[in-house]
Amino acid sequence: MATDMQNLIGTSEDDDEEELEMDVKEEDEEDEENGGKRIHRQVMVGVDVGIAASSSNNNQLPHHQQIQDQVGTPGGGGVRRCRPLEEKERTKLRERHRRAITARILAGLRRHGNYNLRVRADINDVIAALAREAGWVVLPDGTTFPSRSQGSRSAAGTSAMVNPSSHVVSQQTQTTSQKGISPGYRSSLEYNTCRMKGVFMPTPSPYDLSPSARSQTSALVGDGGEQTEIHSLIGGSMDTVNDKQIVDLPPKLPERDFAGTPYVPVYVMLPLGVINMKCELVDADGLLKQLRVLKSINIDGVMVDCWWGIVEAHAPQDYNWNGYKKLFQMVSELKLKLQVVMSFHECGGNVGDDVCIPLPHWVAEIGRSNPDIFFTDREGRRNPECLSWGIDKERVLRGRTAVEVYFDYMRSFRKEFDEFFQDGIIAMVEVGLGPCGELRYPSCPVKHGWRYPGIGEFQCYDHYLLKSLRKAAEARGQSFWDRGPDNAGSYNSQPHETGFFCDGGDYNGYYGRFFLDWYSHALVDHGDRVLSLAKLAFDGTCIAAKLSGIHWWYKTASHAAELTAGFYNPCNRDGYAAIAAMLKKHGAVLNFTSAEQHVLDRHEGFPEAFSDSEGLAWQMLNAAWDACVPIASENPLPCHDRLSYNKILDDAKPFGDPDGKHFFSFTYLRLGPPLMERENFLEFERFLKRMHGEAVVDPQV
């Protein structure tokens, strides 16, 4: 049994080191037995080469003489090279040191990287595993090339064509088996092609800094500036590249010329704490200076959150808009536009949150006596980040339903700032629909222990959502389906570890399909109810809803993280078409934000997540564009470098789109000291001009 367990889990560092010592010992014994014959052959070859060289070049005579001095005739027999004992010991130490390093590398990869390396793996196996992880194709004979390269490569007499925008399926399957995860996924292009026939897929951006793209652009720059693929260095010594240097700089890629392209308005999001808890404008003079600088480069406007927890903090329908009045007046005098967010969630605890703004105090009091107004997980933990949409129609908020509370708040805002609507200063109102203002369940709360790339948990265990589930099960004729899945794992589980989300799991069974359909419909119905009232409150003004990209586990069959967030989007179903249709019904804009691959570098330690942010983004964008829904966007994390801006530009104005689709607007996250630094600000000004379709002075990176 112990042997079987050891074979299953691999070996430890101690086993590798013991194995190392045995290998060195065996090598030493073999050297003692066969050393004479082997050295005899090597030295004879060296003598022949030395003699041939000396006959053609007298400069080689000293070297020839040195070889002859080392050659004798022991026992009157063959030629033997005298090998000093100290040299043999140094060779053993070097070999032992090299093998010890290899053993530690292998042990670390097996333990932390989940690489399926054999016990006696050598450095070639390590290089091959790392190359495959970086997106390269490594054939059995060692032939290596990028998975996105064009043309054909020959291996063992077989020609293999590699599509420039797809991965090799067999290679993906091999990588999956190495990770120990079910191969129930496909490349993003195959996935989207099979599910969205006839949709536009953009040309891959040269600024995509995904690991596979980085592996292709890494280069060895020689004297003449030529580039050699990085695998030419593998197995070579730096001593052999005398006049060459390794340059770890991004290549100078030609940029697209955006002059004459459609005008995309750009807004800058104001700091979260621009209005304090007393609804007072913070540092008005400093903000005015920054807004004037933004105005000088022709920014279109700013975005600001109108926090429910500040405006209606103390009593129902007791609204305080004082700080926002001063802010809006300042923006109006500068002739800037406003995008306003109706923020019905708490602030704090999420990425980028530097202030804490809870829900209104009177709502928290209700929650203490009736915690079922908040989302609840299977263990009964409450999440007070926002209200459960199980109470959308329940009069539990001092005689009002949740949607009535939202409507009264929006109507008060519309009445208070009527002049700004009449003058067109307020260009768009984004309506908060869930955690972080996004239309989704709070399935991945950090406060409950979730960490990337966990699948999250279903959030349907408050009294009101369970009552809705019970009614749906009875209507379906299956009253025993009035419960959530009991095999869906926990916040930090992975799909293959659960019976519900694994390949062929219960998510695709009769009960699973029923539950996920109800769960996702509750999400869409909530958005439908709130947006219908928002349209009524802000009649004549553009409204928007925000969706985030749950990109991890996108390449698996179940799309587990999306399912727990409320997006019924497994590999055999389009989960975003219903949301796009709902937005179209209300004439709303889709504000979509997704972490691009180059901002996910901090997650490169989690290759098992099978994330595909770009594939998800294009699925959602195509779903919206197919429904004729305008798309706005914002960067999920601060960015100040040109490569990140170029990627945003490529997404905002897709190259080669026959219909000329482009973003409705873009909001930059966020105004602050880093943006106002000279170098960062100049780069942002350049980005702004290109979003506006203007020509820039320097067309090269």
Q: Give the residue numbers marked as catalytic.
A: 438, 634
What is the C-alpha separation between 251 and 387, in angstroms, rounded? 49
Q: In the 3-class helix/strand/coil scheme, how is 277-322 assigned residue by residue?
A: CCCCECCHHHHHHHHHHHHHCCCCEEEEEEEHHHHCCCCCCCCCCH
CB 385 within 8 A of CB 346: yes
What is the C-alpha separation between 527 and 136, in angstroms, rounded? 43
Which residue from 616, 673, 634 is spatially nearest to 437, judged by alpha carbons? 634
Q: What is the DSSP annotation of 330-395? A: HHHHTT-EEEEEEE-S-BSSSTT--S-B-S-HHHHHHHHH-GGGEEE-TT--EEEEEE-GGGTT--
Beta bridge partners of residue 136, listed in sequence order: 146
CB 104 within 8 A of CB 117: no
CB 603 within 8 A of CB 652: no
Q: Is 445 left (phi over 0), alpha (psi -120 to 50) or beta?
A: beta
What is the C-alpha separation between 213 and 204, in angstroms, rounded? 10
Provide CB contacts within 8 A for 570, sequence distance 6+: 507, 508, 557, 558, 559, 563
Helix (H) or strand (E) holding 228: strand 227-229
The 8-class DSSP code of residue 254 comes to B
Which residue from 367, 125, 565 is spatially nearest to 576, judged by alpha carbons? 565
What is the C-alpha separation between 131 and 504, in angstroms, rounded? 30
CB 336 within 8 A of CB 299: yes
> Computed over its alpha carbons, how large is the radius of gyration of the chain?
32
What is the C-alpha separation between 409 and 411, in angstroms, rounded? 5
The gap from C-alpha 313 to its chain's centroid, in whole angstroms, comes to: 36
In the numeric block, the tokens 């000004």 are attached to 685
Q: Is 144 left (phi over 0), alpha (psi -120 to 50) or beta?
A: beta
324 residue type, one letter: Y
For 384, the token pair is: 């007070």
Bond from prior residue into 670 cis (ω within 30 degrees of 0): yes
Give the CA distances from residue 230 to residues 4, 218, 539, in Å, rounded to whole numbers and listed in that order. 40, 6, 59
First-to-last CA distance in the chain? Answer: 60
For 191, the token pair is: 């996935």
CB 612 within 8 A of CB 188: yes
16 residue type, one letter: D
